[in-house]
Amino acid sequence: MPFYEVVFETGRVSVAEYADDAEALEGCGEHDKRAREGGQSGPQGGPAERIAKLYKYDRHPNDYNAEQTASADVVTKEVAELVKVMKDSNGVVNIDQLALAVRSLSHPMADKEHPHDSMFKMEEVGVLTLDGGK
């Protein structure tokens, strides 16, 4: 079954598993309807949030690079870029910061440029919106 990253208008996200696009759109559509009507989010309580976008994945997006590997060419290129960006005016790089940055190369989370962007590095297989767009 596919996974869907539900992106709320606030930029918060949640990941859900649905049988297919129709079930995802139905469930998320009901949640969005509750938000527009000032209803509760569900069993946890609190106000429901409007949904901006759904990113679809074949597997859970947190499983990105579970093997924790990359080709030597990719690592060489990425480390060179990190050193270039991280060096100070004297050409010195903080090793702890560089090690942390290298470690983050295989982390499943990405930095979001916009509130409705995916928060995962895994490539989605589709994007759905509640207005019927795909």
Task: Work out the average pLDDT over 30-49.
Answer: 90
Same domain membership, residue 95 and residue 120: no
Same domain membership, residue 18 and residue 73: no
User: Which tens digit of pLDDT belongs to each residue from 90-107?
Assistant: 999 999 999 999 998 889
Domain carrying residue 74:
68-107
Same domain membership, residue 123 and residue 101: no
Same domain membership, residue 46 and residue 18: yes
Q: How far apart are alpha carbons 109 and 122 in whole angstroms?
A: 8
| pTM passes above 0.85 | no
pLDDT for the residue numbered 132: 52
